[in-house]
Amino acid sequence: MRVYFDYNATTPLAPEATEAVVRATQDVFGNASSVHHFGQQAKAALDGARSAVAALIHGDPSEIVFTAGGTESDNFAIRGAAEALEPSGRKHLVASAIEHEAVLNTLRALARRGWRTTLVPVDASGIVAADRLNEIITDDTALVSVMHANNEIGTVQPIAELAAIAHAHGALMHTDAVQSAGKIPVDVRSLGVDLLSLSAHKFNGPKGAGALWLKRGVRMLPILTGGKHERNRRAGTENVPAIAGLGVAAQLAAEKLEREGARVATLRDRLEEGILRAVSGTVVNGARTPRVPNTTNISFDRVEAESLLIALDLEGVAVSTGSACSSGTLEPSHVLKAMGLAAHRTQNSLRFSLGLYSTEEEVDFVIGVLPRLVEKLRSLTRKPEPRPA
């Protein structure tokens, strides 16, 4: 049996999205900027996808800018807003301490160019406290960036409350919704944000396609300069097949949102409760609620996460230690560290993330194999009993 419980790293393409990618690759080769029939065909494919993505997040199609994924959307949001606001003298950027590297490393890069940057801490359950943002923000702050859902522990942040604080100080509010779009309802108006990032491959669309929702009227400078694509907001000939796949994936996600969310939450809870019951010395990291329905992050006492990950892989089970980008290294998770967890708990945690094709049989299989693997790893590291004198 092969079990894929790493949906937060990436998801398999939905057959309908594959079909859209293949059809557009074969039949829609025109350049969407061309005025002739072939160009208009490509533009129609983009327009369809733009409407589907806008519908998923309750935005207007004119506010959607297609990008090459979540990383580019985050870069565009932060760099584009920072550059646009620089002449106004606002040279301070704020993000939460548990952001994805796409945000954290962009802030670090801007800090090297003279921007003042501050990370808002989170509490022990991985939630950003509004009063901490209130202490940090100033009238020089250009942008506040706080992710909607965390990729490692799944906690959902109080974005509307944080956005109100940002706006009270004249700052823009960005949210990285890469791990929430397609999993829970996302409504840009009720979140009260100015900028929102999403990525197709996290909700059964193709890799290398994403979008930045840019509230009408917000002034941004493009980070890719060139032609007049995407209404002068993102230069470069659009990747029509990938964007067509993104559109179909967005439509599917919107249609299934409620039903799938409830189904996956039931599976995740079954997995979580099953593991906690079957394996001693286990604890869930992060608030149990509010949380996206597909994610659980569990620490296993006296087990090195990498070893357990490999042992599970040998049994056919794919999971992850913290964020995918840092797997392969023994770096403790920056998210668990920011929550103030003890060092051993930041290094012995596994992330199980479920999705569209996850089943009860898979959940029960994982609960079945884990106790033996954990016991074996623990016995290898157990200190021998002292010999009787």
Ligand X SMILES: Cc1ncc(COP(=O)(O)O)c(C=O)c1O
Please select the residue that binds ligand X; options are 30, 59, 69, 80, rule is CB under 6 A: 69
Q: Which is nearer to ligand X, 201 or 229 (CB)?
A: 201
Q: Which is nearer to ligand X, 63 or 176 (CB)?
A: 176
Distance CA 271, CA 3 (A): 13
Only one of the segments 41-49, 65-73, 129-137, 242-250 lies at the binding site for ligand X (rule: CB under 6 A); that segment is 65-73
The answer to whether the beta carbons of residues 14 and 182 sit under 8 Å apart is no
Distance CA 136, CA 115 (A): 15
Binding of residue 52 to ligand X (CB under 6 A): no
Binding of residue 346 to ligand X (CB under 6 A): no
Only one of the segments 173-181, 299-307, 342-350, 366-374 lies at the binding site for ligand X (rule: CB under 6 A); that segment is 173-181
Q: Which is nearer to ligand X, 200 or 373 (CB)?
A: 200
Which SS3 state, helix, strand or coil, does residue 250 take? helix
Q: Is 325 a catalytic residue?
A: yes
- Smallest gap, in angstroms, from Cβ of residue 22 to ligand X? 21
**Residues 81-100 within binding reach of ligand X (CB under 6 A):** 100
Binding of residue 71 to ligand X (CB under 6 A): yes
CB closest to ligand X, residue no = 70
Burial of 262 (0-12, 13-18, 19+ CB in 10 A): exposed
- Smallest gap, in angstroms, from Cβ of residue 175 to ligand X? 10
The strand pair at 116-120 and 92-96 is best described as: parallel
- Smallest gap, in angstroms, from Cβ of residue 277 to ligand X? 29
Please select the residue that binds ligand X; options are 151, 155, 296, 348, rule is CB under 6 A: 151
Please select the residue that binds ligand X; options are 4, 59, 63, 70, rule is CB under 6 A: 70
Q: How far is CA 288 from CA 9, 265, 307, in A?
A: 20, 11, 26
Residues with Cβ within 8 Å of 82's Cβ and at least 6 positions away in sequence, in order, are 93, 110, 115, 142, 143
Closest by Cα among 179, 239, 188 to 42 = 239
Binding of residue 126 to ligand X (CB under 6 A): no
Which SS3 state, helix, strand or coil, does residue 351 take? strand
Please give the structure tokens belonging to residue 140. 């020089």
Q: Active site residue: 318, 325, 327, 337, which one? A: 325
Binding of residue 206 to ligand X (CB under 6 A): no
Alpha helices in 125-239 (DSSP H): 130-136, 159-168, 188-191, 229-232
Binding of residue 102 to ligand X (CB under 6 A): yes
Cα-Cα-Cα-Cα dihedral sign, residues 117, 122, 127, 131: negative
Binding of residue 147 to ligand X (CB under 6 A): yes
Binding site for ligand X (CB under 6 A): 69-71, 74, 100, 102, 147, 151, 176, 178-179, 199, 201, 210, 324
Residues labelled catalytic: 325
